[in-house]
Structure formats: structure tokens, C-alpha cells
Chain A
């Protein structure tokens, strides 16, 4: 039994600070694990567990936010990982993370309550056999990933959490995997957001090279960057934000994501996934807002999104598609606010984001309620609900008018804020786009309300909406109404701190109705939008004008995806399914890179061997056996003898390690060789359906092909040997291994250096490696079990 004296002693009691914020970050993941292993007989109770976990998380995060007094940045966890590269495990709590976290946890809770009655019926309707616990587990994982992203104190860590949200959303969008459209929609969403993520990663690496830090706090207090490299960096980071927030030209993944269950759509479109684009812009605003790319790229895509998004939304026939394209349009407004590059623009954009988050969540839940009540997904099929469900209609009117930007609603205030910010900067093009986009928003919102709630409904009574579905909608509608009466209520709860974090100024959010030319212009545009809808509805405008509006963006995302698919197909054609060809290309590429690297770095210091490094006779003998067994491999004739010769090679290598005083490596070598022998024999027998004892290897030792293979093998061997020789250039005292060996017992209490390295010095690396290894192996096992093993 180990008698380590290093580390925290639980018996004497160490400091046990239970930070509610930290617990809130961890709890969703614990809930995810618990739900992932929930027995099938408890599937119906999974919602209770999920809601309990979510409610607890909500309480913890809310308590942490309301009990913090100021806008300072608090380190929650800060552990160095690779300090030399500036990489660390770092979670913070600041104004931005508090604002986003509040929205995430509250909307997640309401959505999970909504899902209680919605999901079983929706699963029946879609003929899905998916377990409810899977849905709830993934929702908690999504929540956990979002919280990890908004709390990341290191930009590289933020990227990892960013991609984690993409994976969670992919699994949720494809929840109804029996629907081909759901699977393709999920893949499309993952493909486009991941492509944007790749651009983001390159941009973050560039920013790190310029600022020499990835610490979020340092980045947000940096001076703005200038120069060519800064423009490229800004462009790449903005591309990441555009893709994540489904902005032009990356909008086309959003409609496909509507095939997810409605609670997922509500969460995704309000404060999760698409909201990360806003977070990214807010985090990088201090660094990049002075670049021309920031203004031009954000401004251009924002104008296109505000105009085209609104127009396309008005054209939609499905409830959720209309709301999805309205998200594109609304986020375009927010991005326009950021594009101004001023603190007033940021203030307006953040306020707009906050209002939009809960209003959009409420509208999606209303859409889900309508689908639940009527079984219809199209606007015109769900008529007349206003007669039988007046409460639902009232909630829809409050939320719809808010999104449409009608005066005395939260949506009006956020649009007015953006218009004023644009006017203050003299950005007349942006101002015009926002006004016209605002007009379109009233068109599609009136259409949404009219098609669903007005007009003759179906004959006979309609069933009641369960309280678990009406309560979340009622709460959100009440919040929207409250915001219309007291528009600044959120300011002291996190909005002001968030804006202060981004702009470095202490804002005082003050929204009001000021009768001035801009106000009246805005009113006139809203009225024009209402008149436009009315004209179309009455048929006063030609139908063909309406039908000319596209249902999708004709450019951008679709063509980008098409180009990506053509490139992917071309790359796939390079694959012939031949392992020897892959290996040959891999080895030749590696060899070329090694030659280029050594040539570029030449001359390189070479350290000559010292007397104590002389090779002993026993070591020479062991190495000789290694060479002989390697040569013997070239002449084996059957699978079994080939495998056994490799095993012998491995054993002789183990002897070499033992003689070089590396018993841990020798032990691992021996065991892995035994495993390899068994695996090869089993795999050959099962996959090739042949008897490994008697089946000969194909004779490839003839002709030019064998000469080429021999040359590659020889070249790789020489490169490996030369590389190893050159790696010995460091003077003995500076070697990492010697430093570790000298301090292992003092620092860790362990006598064995290898154990200390694996479980202590590089414990995080070991954890990551085991995680990746186990997941990969289990995935392979799952493939084998599903497909069987086919013979070649």
C-alpha cells in the first residue's frame, strides 16, 4: 500500500471551499453521467432527474451571481498545464460569464420542464425509439459545455469547450436518428460550425502569437491590435463567430437544425450555440475592434443577414423555420451593433442579445406547444388556436410583438438602442438596413401570430396544454412584459458588468422612448411592415412577388457546402482502402518532412558519446538479436510465423530496455507484444476467414515494388536513427529525465520516476490519453458488433 505523504490529507481536513459557481459548472456533467447509465426501466423518470439537476445548477449559479458585488474577474480554477506555452486549465467568473450563464441555466431549466410532456408525444409522432434519458443527458451535457465555454479563462480552452458544444448540438439535432433529414441536418450543422471553428482556432493562435498570451483577462485588457496580421486574425475569428451564429454565408445549417425536438431548438436559438458567436465577439472586442476587417466583415454580413434573413423568414411556411430565419435576422442586428466598434454599439448589441435570448426561447416553446396541440408543423395548418387557447395566444402576442419591436416592448428598446448607436456613428447604411430589417420583422411576426391564432379553427374541442408546457411560456412572457415596463431591470444583475468587461467603461444602461425623428422613422417603418403584410394577406399585391422571395439564401452556405463536399469526394478518391498504400504515403511524407527539417536546421550540434555510455557486450548481443529478428521478418511465409517473429523482436527490444535500466518500458513492451500476437491471430482469423496457421503471406519480395518498399523502410530507419542521435545533443545535466529523477521522491513521495511522471507531473496528459484511447477502442468494438467482421 502506498504511504505517500504528499498531497492533501483528508483525515486532518483541508480547506473545503465549496464555490457555488464551480459546483454549478460540474453538476450538469454529473447529471449527464447519471442519466447516461440510467437503467431502461427508469427512463420515464429521467426528466425528474434532469430537472432536479438543472434546478440545482440554476440555484447555484444564480446565488453566485447575486452574491457577487462587483465586476472584478474572479479565478475559480487556475492550474498550469503547459506553462511554457501559456496553456492552463482556467475557469473564471466575470460579468460576461455571469450574464451568459444566467441565461443558459434558466432557459435550460424551463426547456427541460417543457420537455416533460412534449418529448414522449413527439417521440411517438416521429416513430422514434430513442430513450428519453438520452435526450436529457445530452441536454445537461450541452448546458455543461456552454457553462464551460462562457467560464473559460483561457482562449485555447474556450476553443475546446466551443467544439464540445458543437458535438452536443450535433447529437441533439440528430436525436431522431430514424429521420434521414435529421441526420443530414445534424451533420451539416456540425460540418459548418466545425469549419468555422477551424478558422477560429487559427485566429486564436495568431492572436496568441501577437499578444503572447491566451489569458482571457489579459486579452480583454489589451490594447487594440493593428497591422496586416491583426486584420487576418480578426477575419478568422469573425468567420468562427459567423459560422456559430448561423450568419451569412453560413446560415444554411440552421433550417436543417429545426428537425431537432423543439426544446432543443428553443435552447439552441436563444442562449446556446448561436449565442457563442456573441460571446466570442465580446471577448475579442477590445483586441480587434480597431481593425478594418472588424467593421467591414461584420457590417457587410450584418446588413445581408438583417435584410435577407428577415425576407426569407417572412417566406417560410413552417413554424420553426420562420423562427429560425428570424434568429438569423436578429443576430445580424446584434452583429451590426458590434461592427460599429464603439462602446455604444456594444451596449446596444449586448442589450439586444439579452432580450432576444428569452423572447426567442419563449416563441420556440410556443411553436412546440402549437405542434403538440395540433400535430401540425406548418403555419396554415395550425389555424384558429386563438379561440380555444386564449392564454397561449396572449403569451404569443406579448412575445411576438416584442420580437417585432413594437413600442413599449423589450424588443423595441433593443432596436432603438441599435438605431441610436448607428446614428451616433453616422453609419447611415447600417441604419437603413436596421430600419428595413425591422420592417420585415413585423411582417413575419404578424404572419406568425395571424396564421396560428386567427381564423377558423378545426371543429370540436381541442385538448388542454399541460401545465409543464404552459408554465415556462407564461414565465417567459411575464419576463417580456416586465421588460417592457421596466426595461433596465437586468442592468444591475449582470448586463452592466458584462458591458463594462467588454468596453472598459462603466455603462449606465438607460433605455427610454424619446420622441425624435429617429423614433418616428422607426414607427413609420413598423407601420409600413404591418401594411405590407396586410396587403399581401388581402391579395392586393401580386402573388408572384411573394413567390419570388427565396426560401433559402441563394448564395453562401449552400455553395460553400457544395464546394466542401466536392473537395471531400476528391480526397476520398485518394483512399483505396489499401493499408499498405496509406502506410507508404505516411512514411514517405514523414521522411520528406524529416529531411527538410534537418536540412533547414543544419548544422546541428552533435554530442559525442562519453565513456560511461559505452555499449556493454550484453547490450550489443541484445541489439544483435533485434537486428536478426527484424531481418527474419522479411522471410516469413505464414501469418503465425510472422506474428511470432514480431513477438520475438518485441521481447528482444524489451531486453534492450532492461539493459538500459528502463524496467517499466521493458515490462510494457513484453505485455504489448503478447497482446499483439493474440490480436493479430484473432483478427486475421476473424476478418480474413482464413486459418492463420496454414495460410501463407503473399510473396511480395520480387520486382521493383519490393525495391521501393525496401528503400522506404531503409530511409525511415536511417532517419529515425539520425534523429535519435541528434536528439542527444543536449548536455547531460539539462535533460528533463535527469531533473525529474532527482526530484521525484522529494516532490511526490514516489520512488519510481515513471509512475510519478504518469500520475503526477503529467497526470493531466495521462488522463487525456486514457480517455481518447478508451473511447477509440470502444468505438471500434461498437463498429465490430454492429457490422460484424466481413472478409476482404
Chain B
């Protein structure tokens, strides 16, 4: 399955999935989808890479340690959003927004980002840990 057309197709799917995943995170307040669906979408497209390219080649492009780090980072982001409002006297997880040059960044976006990283990271780590059978 590792021919040029297959690799091009899965890379294209990966690129499109990235765009859709970010759209789901950034517009979760208005459109269907959220960090969880974005994470599962990324997982499916990354797993497609492993199925088509083989785990050895795909692991070098998508190292499992990177996804483990993503899962931990996601949890840290979620925990930080829980704790940060306490530092200025607000309730835990009370939402805030950070002013940027172009509009504002809502803490709900960051919350969805944390979910995305945790879900994608943990699921990819789990599925890629299933090793190739010995020949």
C-alpha cells in the first residue's frame, strides 16, 4: 500500500484534517465539533499514516514520545485553566479572555485545545504501542 499515490493521498487527508480540526477548536462555540472530535479526527488521520506507511517509517515522522508529550501538555493546559482564575480571585475554571492584536482569545478555546492535545496524544500513544507482529 506504500506507493506514491497512497502516500500523497494520506498526506493530503492529514493536511485537510488539520484544517478541520483547528476549525473545530476555534469555532466550537458556534459550529458542531469541539476539542474531542478534533482530537479523534487527528488520531484517525495519523493512524492512517501508520497503516499505509508502516509503523517503522511512520514512527520516525510521528514519534510516540511526541504524542505522549502532547497528552501531558493537554493535561497541564486543562489544569492551568482550572487553577489560574484562583490567582486573581475568580472561581476555578471561570472563563476569561486574553486580548490579542486581532480580537480576543477565549479561555474556552484553550480548554478545547487542552482536550484536543490530551485526546489525540493519549490515543495515538496507545494505538501506536501495539507493535508489529514478529515475522
Contact = CB atoms under 8 A, between A and B. Distances in A.
A429 interface: no
Contacts of A773: 118-119, 122
B90 A8 contact: yes
B3 interface: no
A760 B88 contact: no
A79 B91 contact: yes
A742 interface: no
A37 interface: yes
Contacts of B90: 8, 14
Given A8-B88, A22-B86, A771-B75, A758 B34 contact: yes
A interface SS class: helix
A46 to B, nearest CB: 18
Interface string B95-127: 111110011111111011011001101110111
A215 B32 CA distance: 39
A671 interface: yes
B99 A10 contact: yes
A15 B89 contact: yes
Interface string A752-766: 101110111001101
B83 to A, nearest CB: 6
Interface residues on B, range: 35 or more
Nearest to A671: B40
A7 B96 contact: yes
B89 A686 contact: no
B92 A764 contact: yes
B61 interface: no
A755 B107 CA distance: 13
B30 A760 contact: no
B115 A664 contact: no
Given A675-B40, A675-B43, A77 B126 contact: no
B14 interface: no
Interface stretch (A187-195, A318-326, A512-520, A783-791): A783-791
A2 B122 CA distance: 27
Contact of A686 (B43, B82, B132): B132
Highest count of chain B CB atoms <10 Å: which of A6, A8, A748, A754: A8
B83 A774 contact: no
A664 B34 contact: yes
A780 interface: yes
A781 B92 contact: no
A781 B129 contact: yes
B133 A77 contact: no
A750 B115 contact: no
B83 A26 contact: yes
A752 B126 contact: no
A679 B36 CA distance: 17
A774 B44 contact: no
Contacts of A675: 40, 43-44, 47, 123
Contact of A789 (B71, B83, B131): B131
B41 interface: yes
A778 interface: yes
Contacts of A22: 86-87
Given A4-B97, A686-B132, A16 B88 contact: yes
Given A7-B96, A10-B96, A767-B93, A672 B83 contact: no
B96 A752 contact: no
A17 B88 contact: yes
Nearest to B112: A759
Interface string B27-67: 11111111011001101100110010000000000000000
A3 B103 contact: yes
B5 interface: no
Nearest to B44: A674
A37 B32 contact: no
Given A14-B90, A17-B89, A763 B122 contact: no
B16 interface: no
Given A1-B102, A674-B44, A675-B40, A9 B34 contact: no
A784 B111 CA distance: 29
A687 B131 CA distance: 9
A686 B128 CA distance: 11
A667 B93 contact: no
B96 A777 contact: no
B133 A686 contact: yes
Contacts of A780: 126
B1 interface: no
Nearest to A78: B91
Contacts of A781: 68, 122, 125-126, 129
Contact of B108 (A8, A668, A759, A770): A759
A546 B22 CA distance: 74
A672 B96 contact: no
B122 A777 contact: yes
A763 B112 CA distance: 11
Contacts of B31: 752
B110 to A, nearest CB: 10
A297 interface: no
Contacts of B102: 1
B86 A1 contact: no
Nearest to B73: A37
Contact of B89 (A9, A14, A666, A785): A14
A678 interface: yes
27 contacts: A1-B26, A2-B27, A2-B97, A3-B104, A4-B106, A10-B98, A33-B76, A77-B92, A668-B40, A671-B37, A675-B44, A675-B123, A679-B127, A683-B130, A750-B108, A756-B29, A758-B34, A758-B36, A759-B108, A763-B93, A764-B93, A770-B74, A770-B118, A773-B119, A774-B71, A781-B129, A789-B130
Given A755-B29, A770-B78, A784-B126, 4 more contacts: A3-B104, A16-B87, A682-B127, A773-B119
The 8 closest A-B pairs by CB, nearest first: A7-B95, A663-B32, A750-B29, A2-B106, A784-B129, A777-B122, A11-B99, A781-B126
